[in-house]
Amino acid sequence: MCKQAAGQSIDNAATLYGQAGVSQATTTSVTDQFKQLVSIAPYLAPGLVGMASILFASCAAGLAHLIFPRMGSRRASPLSLSKFRLHWALAYVSIAGLALLLLARGSGEWQSALRYVGIDMLLVSQTLFFLQGLAVCSGSRSRESGVEERAAGFMRRRSSGRPSFKSPGLRVCSTPGWTIENVLL
C-alpha cells in the first residue's frame, strides 16, 4: 500500500519534471533511484528510528539544560552534554555492524538481512559516537576557556619582553618560571 503510493508519487513528480524540460534519461534514473530507496526503507527503519530518537532526546535534554535556569527553576537539569560518556564496550557494536556488512557480500536473502542489520547497528552506534564527540568538544571548550584566561593573565604578569603566542593546538602552563619546555601539546 505505502510502496504503491510512494511509487505513484515518484512517477507524478517525474512527469512534472519532464514537463518542465528535464531530459527523459535523467528523470528515469532519478525515478529508479527513488523507487530503490522506497524499497529498502522498511529495512532501514529500525536504525533510522533509533537514530532519530537519540537525536531528539539529546536535543530535548539540551533545551532543558538551557531553559530551566532561565525560567527561574531552582532545579537544574542533571543532564549535561559535557558529562555525557559512553561505555567502552559500545565500540564493539560498531565493529559488529562492520563485520555484518563484510559478511553480507554477495547476493542472497540472508546476506541482505545481514547487510541491513549491520547498517542499522552502525546508524545507532555512530549517532551515539557523534554525541560523544560533541561532549568531548563541549567539555574541552569549557576547560580551555579557563586555561586560556589563566595563561593570558600569567603572560601579562610575566611579560618581560618575551613574545606571546597563541595557537589552537598549544596550551601554556601557568607555572612560575615559564619556559618553552612548559608548553604542552
Distance between alpha carbon 67 and the CA centroid of its chain, in Å?
23
Share of the chain above pLDDT 70, in %: 71
- Residue-wise burial string across 141-169, b where 16 or more C-beta atoms lie within 10 A, e elsewhere: eeeeeeeeeebeebbeeeeeeeeeeeeee
Looking at residue 163, the DSSP 8-state letter turns out to be P
Strand, coil or helix: what is 184?
strand
Q: Tell me the C-alpha to C-alpha distance, in Å, between residue 179 and each of 163, 175, 176.
A: 12, 9, 9
Judged by DSSP in three states, 172 sits in strand
Q: What is the pLDDT of residue 181?
A: 42
pLDDT higher than 80, residue 167:
no
Mean pLDDT of the chain: 77
pTM beyond 0.75, yes or no: no
Share of the chain above pLDDT 90, in %: 23
**Quick one: average pLDDT of 35-54?**
90
Kindly state the greatest CA–CA separation across the chain.
Answer: 78
Q: Lowest mean pLDDT: which of 7-16, 28-37, 47-56, 140-149?
A: 140-149
Where on the phi/psi map is residue 107: left (φ > 0), alpha (ψ -120 to 50), or beta? Answer: beta
C-alpha cell at 95: 565493529
Mark out the alpha helices in 20-157 (DSSP H runs). Answer: 24-70, 91-103, 109-157
